[in-house]
């Protein structure tokens, strides 16, 4: 494989583009808005600068990485002549089905179509195409340049050959691929999201406060980040969406989203991306912290 297309320049998309480009692949980064592409490239550059400051890479690696990325707002132009397309658009079934229907019509017949979905059925996505044997899940973890795991999810019709190809490709990126079967939430989110939801229930039932809950999980369970802070970083809307997929898929009440999570999403309190979730990430709060450090 030589040329990779990544659809979506958001947090996951620009991270996926980053790791492919840094490992020598030509990357076509695609988004409907040029402002999103510009923001995505700026994020990649900032993350590369951080790696340089830590002595992980040299300046030349940054230049080569950015040089390997070309941006497109036209889907057809961006995916033509690519060996693999990785979709990293919003976690919405209808959006993904439409994207894959379009990809199937305009991509090379031999192109592999992958999705970075964290919960939606690969089999259902593949059914929107005429090449279900070439559709597979590549669930990268956030932040993509740092986290080693990639969940490789086989749909019902995904071929052994395609699975082997994607497993080997993931290793070329310095990742550790783990093959899982196609059930709601796969492995990572099937275990993680009920834990996050239970932490929210614990807060909702006033058992303890936000910092207290996170402190117990960090110090008592050796988690690097508490579940409520992690939910903020994932995005509360994303957490809600994944829980809904699992609840609809299993019809098990243990996956039903906590009312507090539902209300926070409806109120626009989505976590880091909105400036407020279980914690305050607003600019005024940042200014307070800076002031406190120098007072």
Residue 118, annotated as binding a ligand: yes
- 10 marked as part of a ligand binding site: yes
Of the residues 68, 118, 170, 274, only one is catalytic, namely: 118
Closest CA to 181 of 127, 123, 128, 130: 123
Which of 28, 116, 170, 189 is labelled catalytic? 189
91 annotated as ligand-binding: yes
18 catalytic per annotation: no
282 is catalytic: no
**CA 52 to CA 61: how far, in whole Å?**
9
Q: Which of 151, 170, 241, 276 is catalytic?
A: 151
Is 96 annotated in a binding site? The answer is: yes
Beta carbons within 10 angstroms of residue 54's beta carbon: 8
- Omega cis (within 30) before 143: yes
Examine the residue annotation and report whether 139 is marked as an active-site residue of this protein: yes
* Catalytic residue status for 189: yes
The residue to which tokens 């597979």 are assigned: 136
Cβ 138 vs Cβ 13: under 8 Å: no
| Annotated binding residue 49 | no
Q: How many CB atoms lie within 10 A of CB 107?
A: 25
Q: Name the residue with tokens 């395609």.
A: 162
Alpha-carbon distances, residue 47 vs 10, 37, 50, 62 (angstroms): 14, 15, 5, 9
155 labelled ligand-binding: no
> Among residues 139, 170, 197, 276, which one is catalytic?
139
Q: Give whole-number Cα distances, 70 to 17, 21, 38, 229, in Å.
A: 10, 10, 11, 34
Q: Are 113 and 131 in contact (CB under 8 A)?
A: yes
C-alpha gyration radius of the chain: 20
Beta-strand pair 112-115/135-140:
parallel
Query: What b-and-e string marks burial along 238-271, b requiring 16 or more CB atoms within 10 Å of the CB?
Result: bbbbbbbbbbebeeeeebebbebbbebbeeebbb
- Binding-site residues: 8-13, 31, 91, 96, 118, 142, 273
- Binding-site residues for NAD(+): 8-13, 31, 91, 96, 118, 142, 273
Catalytic residues: 118, 139, 151, 189
């Amino acid at each position: 494989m030589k040329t990779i297309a990544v659809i979506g320049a958001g947090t996951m998309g620009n991270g996926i583009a980053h790791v492919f480009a840094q490992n020598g692949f030509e990357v076509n980064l695609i988004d409907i808005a040029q402002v999103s592409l510009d923001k995505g490239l700026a994020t990649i550059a900032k993350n590369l600068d951080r790696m340089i400051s830590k002595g992980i890479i040299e300046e030349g690696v940054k230049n080569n990485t950015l040089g390997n990325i070309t941006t497109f707002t036209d889907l057809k132009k961006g995916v033509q002549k690519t060996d693999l397309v990785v979709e990293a658009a919003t976690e919405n079934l209808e959006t993904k089905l439409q994207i894959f229907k379009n990809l199937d019509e305009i991509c090379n017949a031999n192109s592999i179509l992958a999705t970075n979905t964290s919960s939606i059925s690969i089999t259902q996505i593949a059914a929107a195409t005429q090449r279900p044997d070439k559709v597979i899940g590549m669930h990268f973890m956030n932040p993509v340049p740092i986290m080693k795991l990639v969940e490789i999810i086989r749909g019902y019709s995904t071929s052994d050959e395609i699975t082997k190809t994607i497993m080997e490709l993931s290793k070329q990126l310095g990742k550790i691929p783990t093959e899982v079967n196609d059930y709601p939430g796969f492995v990572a989110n099937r275990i993680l999201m009920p834990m996050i939801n239970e932490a929210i229930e614990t807060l909702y039932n006033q058992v303890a406060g936000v910092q207290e809950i996170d402190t117990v999980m960090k110090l008592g369970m050796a988690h690097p980040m508490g579940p409520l802070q992690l939910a903020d970083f994932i995005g509360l809307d994303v957490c809600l969406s994944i829980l809904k997929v699992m609840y609809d898929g299993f019809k098990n009440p243990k996956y039903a989203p906590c009312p507090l999570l539902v209300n926070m999403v409806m109120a626009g309190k989505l976590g880091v991306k909105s400036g407020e979730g279980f914690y305050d990430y607003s600019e005024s709060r940042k200014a307070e912290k800076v002031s406190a450090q120098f007072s």
